[in-house]
Chains A and B, each alone.
Chain A
Amino acid sequence: MNFNDGKWDTVIEAKQNPFSLKLNQLKEYKDLIFLFVKRDIATTYKQTILGPLWYLVQPIFTTIMFVLVFRHVASVGTDNIPPVLFYAAGTILWSFFSSLLTVQARVFYTNKDIFGKVYFPRLTVPIAMIFSELLKFLIQFALFAAIYVVYLFNGYSSFLSFRLLLLPFIVIWLILMATGLGLIVSSVTTRYRDLAMAMTFFLSMFMYAAPVVYPLSEVSGRLKTVIFFNPITAIIECFRYSCFGTGEVSLTMILYSAGCTLLFLLGGILLFNKNEKAFVDVI
C-alpha cells in the first residue's frame, strides 16, 4: 500500500524530515501564536498593581545598580558615553537575550501537559515566546530611547546618525541566536535535566564574559580573546556602535558570531524536531 499517492491528508511515520519547519502548518495556526502571545502578556501581571509597568522597573533598577557599582565603586570606563545610557543599553539588550533564552529553554518542560495531550505544531510555542519577549523588549527600548533623546538635546547630538538604521537587524540577529541556543537547551533538558540546573549559572557567566557592564575597549590581553569568542559580544558591541558610534567592532568578530548563530539555529531546529516527537515518552 502506497501512502504517498495523494489520497491522505496526513501520513504519520516514524521518520520525518529533520530540518522541516512545517511552515504551511504554522501558517494554519497563526491565530494560536497570537493567542499564546496574548496569554503570556496578559497573565504575567494579572493581579498586580503596577501591571506592565513592571517591565520598566527591572531595567531602571538594574541600570542604577550598574552605574553605582561599576561606575562609582569600580570606576570602569564607558567609552565616553554617559554611564546611564551605556548601562541602560547593556541592560535592556542583555535582559532581552537572557529572558528569551530562559523561556525558550523551558519550552518542553512548561508545556509538557498540553504537549502530552494535544497535537499542534510545537514550534508555535517558541515563536509566540519570541513575540512576547520582543514586545517586552520594545517597551524597555522605548524607555531607553526616551533617555537617549534627552541626552541628544543635552550635548550628545553626535550620537545621531544613519547607523541607527542597523538596530532592527541587530535585534533580529539576537533573536535568532537566543532562539537557536534556547531550542538546543530545551531539547537536551527533556532527557537530562542537568542543563536546566546549570542554566542560571551559565547565564551569569555568559554575562560577565560579554561587554555588558564594561566596554570591550577596557579589556586587554588574554581576557580579551576570551570575550571575543563569546558569540554575544559582537551583538552588544554592534548595538552600542549603532547607538553611540563607539565600540570595537571587527568583521571577523561579526562573521564569527553570525556563524555561531547559524550553527545554533540549525542545531536547535534539528534537536527540536527530533525531540518534539519523542519527548512525551521521556519527560
Chain B
Amino acid sequence: MNDIVIKAENIGKYYRLGQINTGMFYSDAKSWFSRKLGREDKTLKIGESISDKDGFWALKDINFEIEQGDRVGIIGRNGAGKSTLLKVISQVTVPTKGRIGIKGSVASLLEVGTGFHPDMTGRENIYLNGAILGMKRAEINEKMEEIIAFSEINEHIDTPVKRYSSGMYVRLAFAVAAHLDSDILIADEVLAVGDAEFQKRALGKMNDLSSKQGRTVLFVSHRMNAVKALCKTGILLNKGEIVLHDDIDKCITTYQSGLYETKSVEDLSHYNNEFFDLLGYKLVNVDGKDLNQPMENCDKAYVRIELEMKKVHHAFTIGYAIYNSDGTLMYWSYLTDDYDENNNVKSGRNVLVGEIPNYFLNEGEYSIYFSASLHYIQWIVNPEEDSPCLKLHIQGGLSDSPFWPSKRPGVCAPVLKWTIRN
C-alpha cells in the first residue's frame, strides 16, 4: 500500500449568509458579549448551535485519505462543495471543524494567473507568480527557459503582460504553475481556459506530472472527459457530503445517472413558493401522453409544466435548462422567448408546454432542470442549485440517412437543410 499523503477527518465548513451591516454589527457585539460573560449566546435560539440559523454547511463531515501518486477527480454539481474542499486543502480558507494532515508541499492552480501584475513583463511575472506559488528564486532561474518554451511566449517575454492576448496570458500562467516542484498539485477548472490545442497540451502535462513524476493531483472539472482522461480515482460530492469515493469510472457513472439526487420529481411541493405551486413537471410526447424512453431523435418531446399561479408578476418567466451527460449546458429555453404566450400566464391553474426540438440533440442522456425567475430581479427556482430534474434518453433516429446509426460526432446533432443547384 502506498503512503497516505492527505488525510481529512470530519471536515466541515460553515458559511454565514446575509448582509454585513449595522444589524450584523449589533448581533456580533451582542453574541460576543454574551460569550465573554460566560452566558449563553442569546442570539441563538435554545438548543441551537452554529447551524442553519443564518448560514449553511458547504462541507459536512468529510473524511477521506489520498495516497501518494493518486490522481483524484472531484466531481459533483455546482454548489456541491468541490471548490470549497480544494480551498480548505490549499489553506486559502480554514475549515470550521475537523482536521487535515498533509505530507509534502501543496501548490494550487486555482484560476491561473492570479497575482500577475499587468505593468510587469512576462519574465518578471514568472518570478513573482512562481514565488507566490512557493518557488524559490533559484528554482525559477533554473526552470525559466523551460517555462518560456512551454508557454510559447518566446520573444514577447520581455513585454508587459497587459499587452498580451488572453490566450498568451493563460498559457504563461499555466506554464509557471505546471513547473512547480510541489508534491501535491491542486487544480480547479484550470483547463476551462485557452484554446483546444493548449488544453490538450495542458492535460498532457498534468498527466506527465502525476504518472511519470509521481505527484499527487487533485482535479476539479465539469468536463467529464477531461476528468476521465486524467484521474484514477474520484470523489463524488453532493450538497457538501461525499457520496462516493471510488474508481473514477464508477463515480462518473453514478454522477451521470443522478442516483445520488435526493429529491425526486414526485416531491414537487418542496418547490412551492410565493408565486406559484408546482403541480406537475414531466416529459410528454406529441399526443400529450407520457414519453416512452429512450426516444428517437426524430420525435419531438415536450416539457409539460403545471402550475397554480398565486401571484402574477410582469417579469415572471419559466423555462428549463438542459444539460448533457458531461454536465455541459446545451441551452436554456424560456416562456418569455415567446412574447404573446408570456402574457397569457393567469392566476390559477396553468399548463405550460415547452418544445424540445427533434433532430437537434445527439444520442445520450440529458438532464432537464426546471427554472423559474423574475427576469433580472431574482431566481425563484435556480436550475443550477436546487431544482427538479427530468431525464431524457435519446437513442437512434439521428438522421434519415442510413449512414448515422449511432452517436454523431459533436455536442449536438442537428439535421439541417441542404440544397443543391446544378
Contacts and interface: CB of A to CB of B under 8 A. Distances in A.
Interface of A: 1, 3, 7-14, 28-29, 31-32, 34-36, 39, 42-43, 46-47, 113-120, 191-192, 277-278, 280-282
A28 B137 CA distance: 11
Given A35-B127, A282-B20, A277 B99 contact: no
B95 interface: yes
Contacts of B127: 35
Given A12-B89, A12-B91, A119 B99 contact: no
**Residue among A29, A119, A278, A280 facing the most chain B CB atoms (10 A cut-off):** A119
B131 A42 contact: no
B132 A12 contact: no
Interface stretch (B111-119, B212-220, B230-238): B111-119
A119 B90 contact: yes
Interface of B: 7, 9, 15-16, 20, 25, 87-106, 108, 110-111, 114-115, 117, 119-120, 124, 127-128, 131-134, 136-137, 160
Contacts, number: 109
10 nearest A-B pairs in the assembled complex, by CB-CB distance: A8-B101, A119-B91, A32-B131, A12-B100, A277-B94, A10-B102, A117-B114, A117-B110, A31-B137, A46-B119
Interface SS of chain A: mixed
**Residue among A3, A7, A14, A115 facing the most chain B CB atoms (10 A cut-off):** A14
B97 A113 contact: no
**Residue among B15, B108, B114 facing the most chain A CB atoms (10 A cut-off):** B114
B9 A1 contact: yes
Contacts of A43: 117, 119-120
Given A9-B103, A12-B102, A47-B119, A39 B128 contact: yes
B120 A114 contact: no
A277 B304 CA distance: 48
Contact of B114 (A12, A42, A118, A192): A118
A12 B25 contact: no
A118 B133 contact: yes
Contacts of A34: 137
Given A113-B114, A280-B87, A13 B99 contact: yes
A219 B56 CA distance: 57
A117 B92 contact: yes
**Residue among A8, A35, A118 facing the most chain B CB atoms (10 A cut-off):** A118
A3 B136 CA distance: 28
12 contacts: A7-B101, A8-B7, A10-B100, A11-B99, A12-B89, A13-B94, A14-B94, A14-B95, A14-B96, A14-B97, A42-B120, A117-B114
A120 B76 CA distance: 28
B44 to A, nearest CB: 19
Given A32-B132, A35-B128, A43-B119, A9 B105 contact: yes
Contacts of B120: 39, 42-43
